[in-house]
Structure 1
Amino acid sequence: MLTVDFDRLPVGPGDRVLDLGAGAGRHAFEVLRRGADVVAFDMDAAELDGVAAMFAAMDKEGQVPPGATGETVVGDALSMPFPDASFDRVIASEVLEHIPDDMAAMRELVRVLRPGGLAAITVPSFLPERICWALSEDYHTAPGGHIRIYTLAELQAKLKACGLEVGSHHHAHGLHSPYWWIKCAVGVNNDGHPLAKAYHELLVWDIMKRPAATRIAESLLNPLIGKSVVVYVRKPA
């Protein structure tokens, strides 16, 4: 399930891409499939072990174009172990809402992005996130959880203040917001609740089959209740 639109953030052979806060690696895998060199960067070493194993499996199955490489690096987004201007593209998906000093993380992102390079920044959308916070205290007080709710204007202003040129934006995952509202209402850890379980099965079916009906429904829901907002930026040359 990709949040970033790779038509707006083109990557391919010859590009070096940082997936900042890579988590389980969903965007890193897509970057590698497109033939770019990708670094999956995260604080969670255990998750990155799984990403590295998937990189190896993709290579074994012939899913990695010749010359493309995937590597994992454990570290802190506030002090990344990369030289200035190391990357042609940066993806920071659902990361900044976890970091107390988000602007320090943005400045570090700018530092490692080359002049003229592009980045995609995604965070939870204001309205769906605000509803989740209202429904459940556990949703946003768990260790390592979300510590702020962004408005689109605030996110764009902070990115501009860090020296980035802000471009287009869009919302994603409109079908997922109701699932999280259900989870927050019945208990964020209550995966066995019949309603939460049924909706989760619907989402899995949609991800696997991608039928036209749900694709159309999500495209209509995204501007209204898309779970994530994605902003595309450029570092001035």
Structure 2
Amino acid sequence: MLDTGLRNKQSAEDYDRYTATATQPWDALFVERCAALRPREHGGSLSDVGAGTGVLLEKLSQHPGFATWHLSGIEHFDDMVQAANERLGKVAPRITSPIMVQLGDAARLPYADGSLDLVVSRATIHHLPDQVAALREMHRVLKPGGVGMIHDVRRDMPEKVLTAFNKMRAAVGYGPTTLEEKLTPAEMAALLDRAGLGQTSSIHTSSEGVGAIGFEVVIRKA
């Protein structure tokens, strides 16, 4: 949700209700994958690119694997940033380091070279006007040995999975997902190649379960 012309169609309030409820199975998968891929156990740093209303950052803060990590995020839209920081302000007493979401652009991340251990992004890459630049930025800000992870909906998901996904959305008053702007795993691989990251990245898909909704990209910095 980082480009003005391609933002989520719903308000921050509606989007927050959706991500706080209907996406819970996907959230759980995402958080567990973050924990599995983190390159260090203690004292690491993570940024969520396209943090939305902060739901994933809140859930990461509750995972024991990130108890001593510094968590942050960027988001392009003011209303999302405000909603995220209101949410994360409420969890501040329970965590060791405050979490802040700031305005930012995925194509120009506000972090120094080699400054983050883990950069993650969910359901954002298909919104971006310059996807190649965003991928390069994720790699730039990673420390040596750092990891980038992207999860997104795939345009070619199985029909039965699409039906179940839209039913889940409808249960919270959200319309059917639109697939036209989404990527296939093959298209994602082509973007990684254009970004010069094809040799340091991998793409994972599943044919069943919640993971079948999309694909996972893992970028590793040597």
- The answer for the alignment partner of 1:230 in structure 2 is 216
Q: CA offsets per residue over residues 62-97 of structure 1, 9 Å max, x none?
A: 3x2x3x331111011112222111211000111110
Match of 1:19 among 48, 51, 56: 48
- Give the partner amino acid of 1:25: G
Alignment of 1:120-131 (within 5 A): 120-128=149-157
1:7-86 aligned at under 5 Å gives the runs 7-10=35-38, 12-33=41-62, 34-35=66-67, 36-60=69-93, 62=94, 64=95, 66=96, 68-86=97-115
CA distance in 2, matches of 1:89, 1:46: 25
For 1:30 and 1:45, the matched residues in 2 are separated by 22
User: Is residue 102 from structure 1 mapped to residue 135 from structure 2 by the alignment?
Assistant: no
Identify if the C-alpha distance between structure 1 residues 12 and 42 changes in structure 2 by more than 3 Å, giving closer, same or farther.
Answer: farther
The count of corresponding residues between Structure 1 and Structure 2 is: 174
Aligned partners of 1:126 and 1:8: how far apart in 2? 26
Listed one character per residue, the Cα deviations across residues 23-59 of structure 1 (whole Å, up to 9, x for unaligned) are 1222212332322111110001211222212222112
Deviation at 1:116, TM superposition (A): 1.4
Question: Is the partner of 1:126 in helix, strand or coil?
Answer: coil
- Cα separation, partners in 2 of 1:70 and 1:162, compared to 1, 3 Å: same
Alpha-carbon separation, structure 2, partners of 1:47 and 1:111? 25
1:129–1:149 CA contact under 8 A, matched in 2? no
Aligned-partner Cα distance in 1 for 2:158–2:105: 25
State how far apart, in whole Å, the 2-side matches of 1:125 and 1:16 are.
28
Q: Contact 1:29–1:55 (CA<8 Å) still a contact in 2?
A: yes
2:204 aligned partner = 169
* Distance in 1 separating the partners of 2:115 and 2:107: 16
Contact in 2 for aligned 1:99/1:147 (Cα 8 Å): no
Q: Helix, strand or coil: the match of 2:36?
A: coil
**Secondary structure of the corresponding residue to residue 148 of structure 2:** strand
Aligned-residue CA RMSD (Å) = 2.8
Name the SS for the 1:127 alignment partner. Answer: coil
Contact 1:160 1:166 in 2 (8 A): no
Q: 1:8 to 1:168 in 2, by over 3 A?
A: farther
Does the 8 A contact of 1:118 with 1:234 survive in 2? Answer: yes
Conserved? CA contact 2:126–2:181, under 8 Å: yes
Matches within 5 A, 1:133-144: 140=178
Over alpha carbons, which structure has the higher Rg? 1
* Unaligned stretches of 5+ residues in structure 2: 1-23, 164-175
The whole-number CA distance in structure 2 between the counterparts of 1:157 and 1:95 is 17
**What's the CA shift for 1:169?**
2.0
Which secondary structure does the structure 2 equivalent of 1:231 belong to?
Answer: strand
> Is the contact made by 1:28 and 1:39 (CA closer than 8 Å) also made in structure 2?
yes
TM-score, scaled relative to structure 1:
0.63
Amino acid at match of 1:57: K
* Residue matched to 2:144: 115
Report SS of the residue matched to 2:42: coil
